[in-house]
């Protein structure tokens, strides 16, 4: 069955430190993976998607099919990165399967 | 473009009452998705609709829940005879068609349903 796991509910780092939010998935087929972010009092919004290989706000994520992972990384965290991050898998081109989310807290 | 609109933002119901949640997709979008988020959990897919059609309702509870997306007007998620376990945040998302180049869905702000 399609599933997305994010092992950390909460991740705290200091400003300027590297950050990695973990995401693993299980999917029978060629996966399409996304990271969505929800800042305080804002709606869920797309951060990045693996298919476009982009870097948004300094974040990158590489799809590792061998490890079935799609970890989100940023070399130097900023306070404004504090938010809820959701890893998501597109289920056969239709609905998303979301992970439980990781709350990132960047401390000054 | 105002984005995906949902109303009400907060809804309080007593057990046994009906809850109606509305979602207006972004202009030009004809595909709507409903997700539910229980406390401490991620969003869970419920139903995928196009205008006047239910495409996939595999995530919808078999009883008390229904959804529609009429030719005119918003999409409605209806919960009959609500129970405390229905308390959750309900999110709507829309997309212009089912297979865009990047398959992005745009989310509304959500409706927080509280059942007393």
Query: What confidence tier does B101 reach under pLDDT thresholds 50, 70, 90?
Result: low
pLDDT tens figures, B4-63: 999 999 999 999 999 999 999 998 888 999 999 988 788 999 999 998 899 999 999 999
As to burial, measured by CB atoms within 10 angstroms (0-12 exposed, 13-18 middle, 19+ buried), residue B23 is buried
**Quick check: B102 pLDDT over 70?**
no
Chain B residue with Cα closest to A43: B109
CA distance B93 to B114: 21
- The DSSP secondary-structure symbol of A79 reads G
CB contact under 8 A, A96 and B42: no
pLDDT given for residue A62 in this prediction: 87
pLDDT given for residue A54 in this prediction: 79
pLDDT given for residue A23 in this prediction: 97
CB contact under 8 A, A44 and B56: no
How many Å lie between the alpha carbon of B105 and the closest alpha carbon of chain A? 8
């Amino acid at each position: 069955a399609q599933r997305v796991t994010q092992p950390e509910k909460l991740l705290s780092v200091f400003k300027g430190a590297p950050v990695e939010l973990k995401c693993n998935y299980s999917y029978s087929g060629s996966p399409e993976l996304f990271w969505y972010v929800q800042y305080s009092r804002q709606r869920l919004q797309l951060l990045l998607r693996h298919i476009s290989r982009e870097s948004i706000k300094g974040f990158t994520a590489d799809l590792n099919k061998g490890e079935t992972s799609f970890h989100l990384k940023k070399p130097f965290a900023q306070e404004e990165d504090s938010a809820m991050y959701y890893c998501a898998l597109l289920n056969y081109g239709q609905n998303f399967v979301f992970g439980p989310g990781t709350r990132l807290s960047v401390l000054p | 473009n105002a984005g995906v609109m949902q109303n009400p933002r907060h809804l309080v119901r007593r057990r046994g009452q009906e809850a109606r949640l509305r979602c207006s997709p972004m202009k030009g979008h004809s595909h709507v998705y409903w997700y539910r988020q229980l406390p401490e959990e991620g969003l869970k897919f419920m139903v995928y609709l196009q205008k006047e059609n239910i495409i996939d309702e595999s995530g919808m509870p078999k009883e008390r829940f229904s959804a529609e997306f009429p030719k005119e007007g918003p999409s409605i998620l209806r919960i009959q005879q609500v129970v405390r376990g229905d308390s959750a945040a309900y999110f709507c998302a829309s997309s212009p068609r089912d297979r865009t180049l990047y398959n992005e869905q745009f989310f509304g702000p959500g409706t927080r349903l509280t059942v007393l």
